[in-house]
């Protein structure tokens, strides 16, 4: 069997769903990944990269609920940082807070390359359309001729550079996303009921 490892850019996937598939964000990512396997393939790992937001209490609560739901599946969650910095307008000198996700790209790159070095997979499927991930994808292809990298683009997301860097490109379709939703209520690993947030 061909060993497949999935690397999911959580924020890129979330914002890809947000515009036209906002009703489908209660997504069982592990189930979605399984729907992209070929008959001769098996999942050896499914790694979800994100950061805990810290700028809005209600959003934090909704994100925490979702992450706890993800933890009930066979998925590893790798956290980066969520950083707030001051942004200043050059014309009027007004200042406002800008919220940024940090370390996710680096975490994905390091993990994909480390897993390749330990021969943990045959094919890596990257769920992201972030062109910042082109260098690690190129490094994988240049240094591991026995490995393949497939870019699986979230809805409404595309990257010409990443498409050219990967061996193949696929697109997340609404039908498979819709069939990969959690039940309305999920029992957490600690035994609490997690209910799908009304809006998030």
Task: Identify the three-state secondary structure at position 62.
Answer: helix
On whether the pTM is more than 0.85, the answer is yes
Placement of tokens 């009703």 in the chain: 23
Q: Look at the chain and count its residues.
A: 200
103-117 core/surface letters (b: 16 or more CB in 10 A; e: else): bbbebbbebbbebbe
d(CA 112, CA 125): 10
| CA distances for 180 relative to 7, 25, 27, angstroms | 17, 10, 6
Residue-wise pLDDT for 14-33, tens only, equals 999 998 898 999 999 999 99
Q: Domains in the chain, start-ordered, CATH in brackets?
A: 2-195 (3.40.50.1010)
Strand ranges, E, within the chain:
2-9, 41-50, 76-79, 81-88, 95-102, 123-127, 148-153, 168-171, 185-187, 193-195
Rounded-to-integer distance, Cα 70 and Cα 80, Å: 17
CA 198 vs CA 51, 150, 194: distances in Å: 21, 34, 12
pLDDT tens sequence for the chain (200 residues): 999 999 999 999 999 999 889 899 999 999 999 999 999 999 999 999 999 988 788 989 999 999 999 999 999 999 998 656 656 777 787 775 565 677 899 999 999 999 999 999 999 999 999 999 999 999 999 999 999 999 999 999 999 999 999 999 999 999 999 999 999 999 999 999 999 987 65
Q: List own/partner pairs for 35-43 with CB under 8 A and 24 or more apart.
A: 35/176, 35/179, 35/180, 36/125, 36/152, 36/170, 36/176, 37/4, 38/2, 40/1, 40/2, 41/1, 41/2, 41/3, 41/4, 41/123, 42/1, 42/2, 42/3, 42/4, 43/4, 43/5, 43/6, 43/74
Q: How far apart are CA 172 and CA 98, in angstroms?
A: 29
Q: What are the tokens at 199?
A: 């809006």
Tokens 């240094």 belong to residue: 143
pLDDT of residue 200: 55
């Amino acid at each position: 069997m061909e060993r497949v490892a999935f690397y999911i850019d959580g924020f890129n996937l979330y914002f890809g769903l947000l515009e036209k598939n906002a009703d489908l964000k209660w997504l069982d990512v592990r189930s979605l990944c399984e729907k992209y396997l070929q008959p001769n393939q098996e999942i050896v790992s499914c790694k979800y990269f994100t950061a805990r937001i810290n700028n809005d209490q209600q959003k934090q609560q909704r994100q925490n609920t979702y992450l706890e739901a993800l933890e009930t599946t066979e998925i590893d969650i790798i956290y980066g940082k969520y950083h707030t910095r001051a942004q200043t307008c050059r014309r009027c000198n007004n200042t406002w807070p800008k919220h940024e996700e940090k370390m996710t790209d680096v975490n994905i790159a390091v993990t994909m390359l480390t897993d390749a070095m330990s021969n943990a997979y045959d094919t890596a499927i990257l769920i992201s359309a972030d062109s910042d991930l082109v260098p690690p994808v190129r490094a994988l292809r240049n240094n591991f001729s026995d490995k393949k990298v497939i870019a699986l683009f979230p809805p409404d997301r595309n990257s010409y550079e990443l498409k050219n860097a990967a061996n193949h490109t696929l697109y997340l379709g609404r039908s498979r996303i819709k069939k990969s939703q959690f039940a309305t209520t999920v029992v957490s690993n600690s035994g609490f009921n997690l209910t799908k947030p009304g809006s998030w």
